[in-house]
Amino acid sequence: MKLLLSRLLLGISVFVCFALPGFAEEKHPAEWEAIDARPVPQWFLDAKFGIFIHWGVYSVPAWGPLPKDGAANIYECYSEHYWNRLESGNPLFVRHHSETYGENFKYPDFAESFKCEMFKPGEWAKIFRESGAKYVVLTSKHHDGYALWPSEFSPGWNASDTGPRRDLLGEITKAVKAEGLKMGYYYSLLEWNNPLYREDIGRYVDTHMLPQMRELVEKYEPEIFWPDGEWDHLSSTLKSPEFLAWLYGESPVKDTVVVNDRWGKETRGKHGGFYTTEYDLVHSDNVKDSQIAHPWEECRGIGHSFGYNKNESLEDYSTSEELVHMLVEKVAKGGNFLLNVGPTADGRIPVIMQQRLADIGKWLKVNGDAIYGTRPWGGARENAADSVYYTAKGGDLYVIFTKIPPESFELKGIEQAPSSASILGTDIAVGCEYSDDVLKLEIPALTLENSPCDYAWAIKISGCL
Ligand code: GLC
């Protein structure tokens, strides 16, 4: 009877543990405490702008529906989810696939067409450097499990055994580092089509996922480790705290590596390194009214998808002006901006994406001082105004106008009279009148002739903080 009772109690506690989400989520806070206490390395906070690359077998069909075709939400537009959309019978994907390739053509059959014959890593890296980005994050392996490096844990399903027969990840890494940028890897914890993932998550984690993550880190020494696909399981099931203890304690990048918050279904906006948002939607509540103290990063594509989507046309792409404004807004709120490019299966970065990056780069050449190394300004809320953003660095304040600046502009709560003020990228001095914590700026008119850039203009106010 006693035995029966204790069995029953054990049964109940196991049931409660798994049935009540809150309980299970709070099960291992201690494991996270030490990990969360490690500060995000400063280089990441200063870098502000990075390039995301989604590239893999999904770049062959390179297709996703558009909002105007009835895609239900932004996820349904993602071309990198192609395989899973077919398997789960999404009518938009299934129709496109059977009309274009026929029902008998399976996703793995695309692998041999992922040839990357025009891929020139050196040229990619130059494009990234010229964009003003300070780091790059490449999909080492997306949800389809296909590895861009010769991973011993994905035999026959990696870029070295199929298609390009090259170590794409290794080549990009070398080229990006040679341009002086930091290199990081996105890594999907889940593999939708791996039977082990579906049937025996414990074995998947122990014999596939964790050893593969270590292989990636030991062989290529990333400066960012960017997991994703964490939503099916708790971080304890994925053994994320264990991996992080190794990453921070023993790995070759233990002192420098930066990680995000996607480590288990309970971790976003709570644990790990910087918090992540996506298309301003996913988990944006964590950073909404920003000025949050915790480091964060917004990622998005230039169009509606991360992987290249042939279905998109000009109207689906954000303009350079929109992208510069996004960058300014994120940075003013204390975030980084990770802008994605989706290269083609033959290894090119689509020209329109190159053009957007070049425009951002031109803008940053003039205004980088108002972006890199800055922090949000404490007086931003008090001085909130339409199309005006603030950043601060040392004793200097930057006022960034995303519309042509007005003739005069007043700032409250300024600590001291500035030593000077000017429009970045010019020698145009801005008049300053200071009394009782109020600074009045007199801004000379910007014209086609004297404007240093397009899209947004920054005034640097030196020594007022
Ligand atoms: C998501 C998507 C994915 C994309 C990523 C970028 O989780 O599943 O396709 O890689 O977010 O943030």
Q: For the segment 274-298, what is each residue's pLDDT rounded down to a tens digit? A: 999 999 875 555 555 555 678 999 9
Q: What does the alpha-carbon distance between residue 459 and residue 428 come to, in Å, rounded to a whole number?
A: 10
The atom number, within ligand 1, closest to the CA of 80 reads 9
The answer to whether residue 376 is domain-embedded is: no
The answer to whether residue 444 is domain-embedded is: yes
The mean pLDDT of 28-57, rounded to a whole number, is 93
Which of 347, 362, 336 lies closest to 308, judged by CA? 347
Q: What does the alpha-carbon distance between residue 409 and residue 115 come to, in Å, rounded to a whole number?
A: 55
CA of residue 230 to ligand 1 center, whole Å? 10
CA of residue 266 to ligand 1 center, whole Å? 17
The mean pLDDT of 404-409, rounded to a whole number, is 97
CA of residue 290 to ligand 1 center, whole Å? 22
Question: Of 58, 59, 78, which is best to mutate to test ligand 1, by the most ligand atoms within 8 angstroms of its C-beta?
Answer: 78
What confidence score (pLDDT) does residue 458 get? Answer: 98
| Residues 306-356: tens digit of each pLDDT | 999 999 999 999 999 999 999 999 999 999 999 999 999 999 999 999 999
First to last CA, the chain: 74
Count up the domains in the chain and report the number: 2
Q: Are 115 and 207 found together in one domain?
A: yes
| Residues 202-218: tens digit of each pLDDT | 999 999 999 999 999 99
Identify the bridge partners of residue 141 per DSSP, sorted by sequence position.
147, 187
CA of residue 449 to ligand 1 center, whole Å? 43
Q: Are 96 and 219 found together in one domain?
A: yes
Supply the CATH number for residue 238's domain: 3.20.20.80
Which of 388, 389, 318 lies closest to 357, judged by CA? 318
Q: Domain boundary residue among 311, 343, 370?
A: 370
What confidence score (pLDDT) does residue 31 get? Answer: 85
For 177-208, the DSSP string reads: HHTT-EEEEEEES--TT-HHHHH-HHHIIIII
Question: Of 82, 137, 306, 340, which is best to mutate to test ligand 1, by the most ligand atoms within 8 angstroms of its C-beta?
Answer: 306
The mean pLDDT of 367-388, rounded to a whole number, is 96
Q: Domain boundary residue among 311, 341, 370?
A: 370
Supply the CATH number for residue 436's domain: 2.60.40.1180
Question: Of 51, 231, 278, 279, which is best to mutate to test ligand 1, by the most ligand atoms within 8 angstroms of its C-beta?
Answer: 278
What's the domain range around 250? 2-370
Q: What are phi and psi of 401, to 5 degrees?
A: -100, 125
CA of residue 360 to ligand 1 center, whole Å? 23
The atom number, within ligand 1, closest to the CA of 81 reads 9
The answer to whether residue 377 is domain-embedded is: no
The atom number, within ligand 1, closest to the CA of 186 reads 10
The answer to whether residue 383 is domain-embedded is: no
Beta strands in 206-291 (DSSP E): 224-228, 258-259, 275-278
pTM of the model: 0.92
Residue 13 has pLDDT above 90, yes or no: no
Q: Which residues have CB under 6 Å of ligand 1?
A: 78, 80-81, 228, 278, 299, 306
